[in-house]
Amino acid sequence: MRIEGKKRYALLQAARDSDYVKKVYGGYLNVFVAAFGEEGERWDLFRVVDGEFPSMNELHNYDGFVVSGSPYDAYGDDPWILELCFLLQTLDAMQQKVLGICFGHQVLCRAFGGKVGKAYSGWDIGLRKVKIVKHFSPCSFLDGMDEFPPALSIIECHQDEVWEVPLGAEVIAFSDKTGVEMFTIGDNILGIQGHPEYTKDILNNLIDRLLTNDAIEKGFAEDARLKLQVAEPDRKCWERICRAFLKGKWNQWPTYSFDN
């Protein structure tokens, strides 16, 4: 049962904690809470990748849900992915807020009838400038959008992408690499292809693991690392966007500088 006045959120974790993240951060839950959480909130972890799901009769006790990234394909037919799609449809019917990150962004798209598949241009790893669409149907959580810069840098690590958004969805950001970097459905669904929660060290460790598994080539990895050395993601702004979505309107949050 929800404690009066205490916000409660759930992380639907679609990836297993890496050894590095467990050692340095104590698990991905702590990474997400550090990025999106506030003092006094309760964050619950459900490892959906291992079949751990919230009880249907508890869903109304939450103020919002976050779906993490994953090494799995959002278009796959693993039982837990199909169960996750059903859960997302249920949450939408309840008008619950759901924020999807990377795989989460893609599986939201799939759950609501969009199309997801391998990126036509291959892996995207490193920093990417995401261009914000200035003219779209207003979302209440982005009131005050006029103060946005024309583009924001975000950490990316994906080889799949949204091909086609669901009916009723609106694309609100894109890049020169990916056509759908962000989309919304009403005021309760937000998908972000990049990783607003990632730090540079988390991505560098992930690059190491991808190299070890021969998933990417050495030259590609070196180029991604170089870009990380010479520029910074706009983490404060991305955190502000995600918190504003999960917790209230944009103009309730203090103004951050957008300079790197």
Tokens coding 42: 């309760």
Could you give the dihedral angle defined by the CA atoms of residues 217, 227, 34 and 187, in that order, rounded to the nearest 10 degrees? -90
Contact status, residue 175 vs residue 183, Cβ threshold 8 Å: no
For the four alpha carbons of 241, 68, 65 and 189, in that order, the dihedral sign comes to positive
d(CA 33, CA 31): 6
- 102 in catalytic set: yes
CA distances (Å), origin 49, targets 22, 57, 79, 191, 252: 17, 21, 10, 19, 34
Which one of the listed residues 156, 161, 181, 197 is annotated catalytic? 197
Contact status, residue 108 vs residue 88, Cβ threshold 8 Å: yes
Residue 120 gets which letter from DSSP?
T
Which one of the listed residues 181, 195, 239, 242 is annotated catalytic? 195
- 195 in catalytic set: yes
Using DSSP's 3-state secondary structure scheme, residue 60 falls into helix
Which one of the listed residues 102, 157, 237, 242 is annotated catalytic? 102
CA distances (Å), origin 245, targets 4, 46, 191: 21, 21, 11
Catalytically annotated residues: 102, 195, 197
